[in-house]
A and B are shown apart, each in its own frame.
Chain A
Amino acid sequence: MNPILEVKGLTMDFGGIRALDHLDLHVNQGEIVALIGPNGAGKTTFFNCLTGLYKPTAGDLLLTPPGGRTRRLGGLKPNHVTRQGLARTFQNIRLFPNMTVLENVMIGRHCRTRAKVLGAIFRDRRTRQEEREIVALSISILEELGLADMINEFAKNLPYGAQRRLEIARALATEPLILLLDEPAAGMNPQETRELDELICRIRDKGLSILLIEHDMKLVMSLSDHIFVMDYGRKIADGTPEEIRTNPAVIKAYLGEDVDDA
């Protein structure tokens, strides 16, 4: 079976800097795949290329929905990539701060709904029905993520950990096939990180595939089915958590950068 996401020879140049260098990577349906690497390795740049925010210099991005035809993602605009089934969170949280928690999630429904200007003005049956569905679905997602008691708060007033969860909720509202998480545990306390661990498992159990950038090695090792390691825009290793733990190239890359509890 084809992997749901396949990246071939992805290269991204910023002027003279090569942030991604012929990167190959794949995600199988229903897997949690982690992408790790020292700071500045190009992980976020990879997400940006994948989601259409950057236009890659070279390479192929192929999405194969279960039971569907393979599609090229390269060159699509970000909103079309999201429609195809890739939803992401951001390393530095990018919520809509002056909208309520619920509205943030409702925005995620935008690409799956269709009400137009006239529908909005006349509020015909279909529009009202659609609006009710948007609200109901958004609330159920928020309930799942434990945010249901703050749906009318402004997003900017939420505590940090809740903001991270809200970003995930918003991404889930787009009904993605693959969820891309950029350092979701950053800035979370151990308790919140444990909850995040369970949450990601729950999302996977629903049939989503997950691509995870994370610096918290404990989380990565416990969650991942497969790990890709990057350094200087290149893939330096990939394999199961066991293989990565003992891989000399990985140890070298990490010991050069930070000597955390990795």
Chain B
Amino acid sequence: MLSFKDFGRACVVALWFMVLTFPLMVIKVNPIDRVITWRWHNMVWVGVGSFLCYLASRAWQIHRDARLRRIRLGQEEEKEPLSRRILQNPSIYRPLLAAGALFFLAFPGLFSTYQTNIMITALMYVVLGLGLNIVVGVAGLLDLGYVAFYAVGAYAYALLNLHFGLGFWTVLPIGGLLAATFGILLGFPVLRLRGDYLAIVTLGFGEIIRLILENWNEFSHGPSGISNIPRPGFFGIQMSLDQSITYLYYLMIGMVLFTIFVVNRLQNSRIGRAWFALREDEIACQAMGIDKTRTKLTAFALGATWAGMVGVIFAAKTTFVNPASFTFLESAIILCIVVLGGMGSIVGVIIAALVLILLPEYLRAFSEYRMLVFGAVLVIMMVFRPQGIVANIRKTYRVEEG
């Protein structure tokens, strides 16, 4: 039950939130009339709201702890998590999958070009998330500079097209390979690093790539970027803008399916198991005969490949690249997708990417609060479900009879 102390804490939390949101929620400056409106009623709402939210979360925590205690004492059966029950029951997930497939196939027909464009972006982040998931989620290497590989892909298309007139379909694999090469280049110096140290070095790597693109004018055209990049072609057919967006949408769907296929196979292979083991215990992993160096490098390279390919698609979609598209914020968002989705879970990452990219778009109605809501969703997720949307699911095997 909630104790007196919890109510005390709730008051402190409420006060804290009232102070924290004071500048945003209470003060409103009208620069034209040069007056300040004080909206004190907002402060009351924030106070009451956070007070109640805190109590609710406390009650939930107490309930959960009590249940865990009963499970430990053997008085109650441990329940399978909801996500696992859904994913392991074909009669539930098959219809869901079919409905999802139908929805995504019909999307450009049902919604406007504007919506389709947003969905293309979301699908690009699905692939980026799945790619980073190999490095961070599966192999456990905290990479904060993932956007660098994305930039490599985008500039590969922009520059190869500008100088050599290479087309989209030629550059798509080249961009992937180039990014993989950069992945290995980054991988070598950071092999010995772990955790925070690795995070800092990869962060630096991301910034270096961006700064090079920004300052090396002769090579990358600096901050003004490169424009007039052709959209992807389809056997030389001329397409209107709407048509080419629809085309790009289906191309992206294909790309997502391809990624899921490959990533899934990789995870359930000898190499995927080695990545997981590396994340779990590096020393035991080596003692079991796994080559740490090679395993880490393949993770970096294969993760980077997807970023490179999506980079090419990004350049083709926007027909314009400049360094401003490849800031640390991008890396952070992709990382959020992986963590929120559940480290190592393909389904989780897909859901997280769609939610994290679509949510801010459709929250535009609440313009000034949308980032606040976005942040709140992240915080709440991490408090209540630190393991992500879909928790770690491992393949199960049967012992053959006889």
Binding site for B on A (CB under 8 A): 51-53, 77-79, 82-83, 87-88, 90, 94-100, 102-103, 106-108, 110-113, 115-117, 119-121, 123, 127, 130-131, 134-136, 139, 143, 148, 151-152, 154, 170-171, 174
Chain B, range 368-402, C-beta contacts under 8 Å to A: 392, 394-397, 399-400
Q: Which residue of A lies closest to B298 (CB)?
A: A117
- Asked if B68 is at the interface of the complex by the 8 Å CB criterion, the answer is no
Tell whether A96 pairs with B397 under 8 Å between CB atoms, given A107-B290, A111-B290, A120-B272: no
- Asked if B302 is at the interface of the complex by the 8 Å CB criterion, the answer is yes
19 additional A-B pairs beyond A82-B286, A121-B262, A139-B400, beta carbons within 8 Å, are A87-B287, A88-B287, A96-B276, A96-B281, A98-B392, A100-B394, A100-B396, A103-B394, A107-B277, A107-B290, A110-B290, A111-B290, A116-B271, A139-B397, A139-B399, A143-B399, A151-B397, A152-B394, A171-B288
Identify 19 residue pairs between A and B in the complex whose beta-carbon atoms are under 8 Å apart, listed by A's number.
Answer: A78-B287, A79-B288, A94-B283, A94-B284, A98-B280, A99-B277, A100-B395, A103-B273, A107-B288, A110-B274, A115-B270, A117-B271, A117-B298, A117-B302, A121-B262, A121-B266, A139-B399, A143-B399, A152-B397
Give the residue of A82, A106, A154 whose beta carbon is less than 8 angstroms from that of B287: A82
Are A99 and B276 closer than 8 Å at their CB atoms? yes
Are A111 and B277 closer than 8 Å at their CB atoms? no
Q: List A contacts of B302 (CB < 8 A).
A: 117
Give the residue of B270, B272, B286 whose beta carbon is less than 8 angstroms from that of A113: B270
Are A106 and B291 closer than 8 Å at their CB atoms? no
B interface bracket (residues with beta carbon within 8 Å of A)? 20 to 34
Q: Which 4 A-B pairs have the closest CB atoms?
A: A111-B289, A120-B269, A82-B289, A96-B280
Measured CB to CB, the closest approach of chain A to B390, in angstroms, equals 14
Are A148 and B281 closer than 8 Å at their CB atoms? no
Are B280 and A82 closer than 8 Å at their CB atoms? no
Are B273 and A123 closer than 8 Å at their CB atoms? no
Q: Mark B289-311, 1 if CB is under 8 A from A, else 0.
A: 11110000010001000000000
Are B274 and A107 closer than 8 Å at their CB atoms? yes
Q: How far is the CA of A143 from the CA of B396 in the complex (A)?
A: 16
- Asked if B15 is at the interface of the complex by the 8 Å CB criterion, the answer is no
Are B394 and A99 closer than 8 Å at their CB atoms? yes
Measured CB to CB, the closest approach of chain A to B56, in angstroms, equals 30
Q: List B contacts of A115 (CB < 8 A).
A: 269-271
Measured CB to CB, the closest approach of chain A to B100, in angstroms, equals 24
Give the residue of B273, B280, B289, B399 whose beta carbon is less than 8 angstroms from that of A106: B273
Q: How far is the CA of A154 from the CA of B280 in the complex (A)?
A: 12
Q: List B contacts of A130 (CB < 8 A).
A: 270
Are B271 and A97 closer than 8 Å at their CB atoms? no
Are A108 and B289 closer than 8 Å at their CB atoms? yes
Q: How far is the CA of A117 from the CA of B272 in the complex (A)?
A: 9
- Asked if B358 is at the interface of the complex by the 8 Å CB criterion, the answer is no
Are B396 and A95 closer than 8 Å at their CB atoms? no
Q: How far is the CA of A107 from the CA of B286 in the complex (A)?
A: 10
- Asked if B39 is at the interface of the complex by the 8 Å CB criterion, the answer is no
Q: Which residue of B lies closest to A171 (CB)?
A: B288
Are B266 and A117 closer than 8 Å at their CB atoms? yes
Q: List A contacts of B283 (CB < 8 A).
A: 53, 78, 94
- Asked if B364 is at the interface of the complex by the 8 Å CB criterion, the answer is no
Measured CB to CB, the closest approach of chain B to A147, in angstroms, equals 11
Are B281 and A120 closer than 8 Å at their CB atoms? no
- Asked if B64 is at the interface of the complex by the 8 Å CB criterion, the answer is no
Are B265 and A79 closer than 8 Å at their CB atoms? no
Are A90 and B271 closer than 8 Å at their CB atoms? no
- Asked if B359 is at the interface of the complex by the 8 Å CB criterion, the answer is no
Q: How far is the CA of A121 from the CA of B259 in the complex (A)?
A: 11
Tell whether A135 pairs with B273 under 8 Å between CB atoms, given A78-B287, A123-B265: no
Measured CB to CB, the closest approach of chain B to A225, in angstroms, equals 25
Q: Mark B109-149, 1 if CB is under 8 A from A, else 0.
A: 00000000000000000000000000000000000000000
Q: List A contacts of B48 (CB < 8 A).
A: none
Are B284 and A95 closer than 8 Å at their CB atoms? yes
Measured CB to CB, the closest approach of chain A to B30, in angstroms, equals 55
Q: How far is the CA of A69 from the CA of B386 in the complex (A)?
A: 53
Q: List B contacts of A112 (CB < 8 A).
A: 289
Tell whether A120 pairs with B396 under 8 Å between CB atoms, given A79-B290, A97-B280: no
Q: How far is the CA of A154 from the CA of B391 in the complex (A)?
A: 13
- Asked if B52 is at the interface of the complex by the 8 Å CB criterion, the answer is no
Tell whether A120 pairs with B266 under 8 Å between CB atoms, given A99-B394, A110-B274, A110-B290: yes
- Asked if B226 is at the interface of the complex by the 8 Å CB criterion, the answer is no
- Asked if B285 is at the interface of the complex by the 8 Å CB criterion, the answer is yes
Are B265 and A111 closer than 8 Å at their CB atoms? no
Q: How far is the CA of A88 from the CA of B283 in the complex (A)?
A: 12
Give the residue of B271, B281, B286 whose beta carbon is less than 8 angstroms from that of A77: B286
